[in-house]
Every structure is written in structure tokens, then in C-alpha cells.
């Protein structure tokens, strides 16, 4: 149950973030854009204020592996500002490493660390990477709109 709430919170934050970077939103006049931005910001703060805690029992090795995986993901997301294409490639290799059905290059080091994590953590990592890929794709659509 708590895991479902955690997922729902992530989805709400993602939806609110989508509103803020939506191409149609960028075409609105300043007053409307400020109003929508303020409302979405207020809702995001409220959503983030809700703490959903799911305790996953981990041994020392699993906790260390999860910490290393999170550090690798954080390092890539920090570099998104500098080089979006390179960050996207790295995130895709990380995602492929988490999904045996995916076709494409994988990051062996990342895969080794993910395998050391709990099954619950592996699912969360996969979800987190999928969300980051979606955010990158949305950002690309906004910065490079299709020609009609």
C-alpha cells in the first residue's frame, strides 16, 4: 500500500513538472504563465511535504550498492545541464542495464551495482531512470519543436 502511495506521489510530481515545461504553456501570455507556474509550484511543495516512507530491509552490501547507484545517477543528472546528449546516452545505458529485455548498450559497472541491490530497489531504480528519460525527451521536444 505504501509503495503504491510512493508511486502515486512520483506520478503527481511528474505531471506537475510536465505542466511547467509543456510547449503550449510556454506560448501563454506572461500573466497566465505566472499564475499557472505559481499554482503548480504550490502543489509541488504540498506534494513534496508528504513523506511516504517504505522501509526496505537491506544488508550492508545492498545498502552500499544502492548508495553507489544513486551517486552514479545523481552525477549524470548534474551533467545534464552541460551536455544533455551525453547524459541521455548514459541514462539509457543505465536503463538498459536494469532491463534484461532492452536492446542496446549497457553500462557494466552500473549493472553490477544494480544486481547487488534488493529487488525492491531495482524496481525503484528502473522507474527513476524511466522518469529521467521521459523528462529528457520532453525537454528535447520543447527545445526542438517539430516542423509543420
Dihedral through CA 106, CA 108, CA 113, CA 114, nearest 10? 30
- Is the per-residue pLDDT at 119 higher than 90? yes
Give the whole-angstrom CA distance, residue 70 versus residue 50: 22
> Would you state the pLDDT for residue 95?
96
**In terms of Cα–Cα distance, which of 94, 87, 130 is closest to 115?**
94
The DSSP letter of residue 146 is P
Place of cell 516542423: 147
Residue 37, number of CB atoms within 10 A of its CB: 14
Q: What is the mean pLDDT of the chain?
A: 85
**In terms of Cα–Cα distance, which of 20, 12, 22 is closest to 39?**
20
What cell does 46 get? 504540498
Place of cell 517504505: 54
Domain 57-148 has CATH 1.20.58.890: yes
Predicted TM-score (pTM) above 0.85: no
For residue 16, give Cα distances in angstroms to 10, 19, 44, 74, 113. Answer: 10, 5, 7, 21, 31
| Among the ranges given (13-17, 43-47, 57-61, 142-146), the one the predictor scored with the smallest mean pLDDT | 142-146
CA end-to-end distance (rounded Å), the chain: 45
> Would you state the pLDDT for residue 68?
97
Average pLDDT of span 26-46: 83
Contact between 81 and 116 (Cβ < 8 Å): no
Residue 90, number of CB atoms within 10 A of its CB: 20
> Would you state the pLDDT for residue 73?
94
What cell does 93 get? 545505458
Residue 38 confidence class, pLDDT cut points 50, 70, 90: confident
Average pLDDT of span 113-131: 93
Amino acid at each position: 500500500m505504501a509503495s503504491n502511495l510512493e508511486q502515486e506521489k512520483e506520478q503527481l510530481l511528474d505531471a506537475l513538472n510536465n505542466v511547467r515545461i509543456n510547449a503550449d504553456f510556454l506560448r501563454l501570455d506572461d500573466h497566465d504563465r505566472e499564475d499557472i507556474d505559481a499554482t503548480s509550484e504550490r502543489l509541488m511543495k504540498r506534494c513534496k511535504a508528504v513523506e511516504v516512507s517504505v522501509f526496505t530491509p537491506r544488508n550492508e552490501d545492498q545498502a552500499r550498492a544502492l548508495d553507489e547507484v544513486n551517486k552514479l545517477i545523481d552525477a549524470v543528472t548534474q551533467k545534464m545541464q552541460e551536455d544533455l546528449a551525453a547524459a541521455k546516452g548514459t541514462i539509457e545505458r543505465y536503463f538498459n542495464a536494469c532491463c534484461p529485455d532492452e536492446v542496446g548498450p549497457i553500462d557494466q559497472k552500473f549493472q553490477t551495482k544494480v544486481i547487488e541491490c534488493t529487488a525492491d530497489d531495482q524496481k525503484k531504480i528502473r522507474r527513476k531512470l524511466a522518469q529521467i528519460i521521459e523528462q529528457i525527451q520532453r525537454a528535447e521536444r520543447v527545445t526542438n519543436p517539430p516542423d509543420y
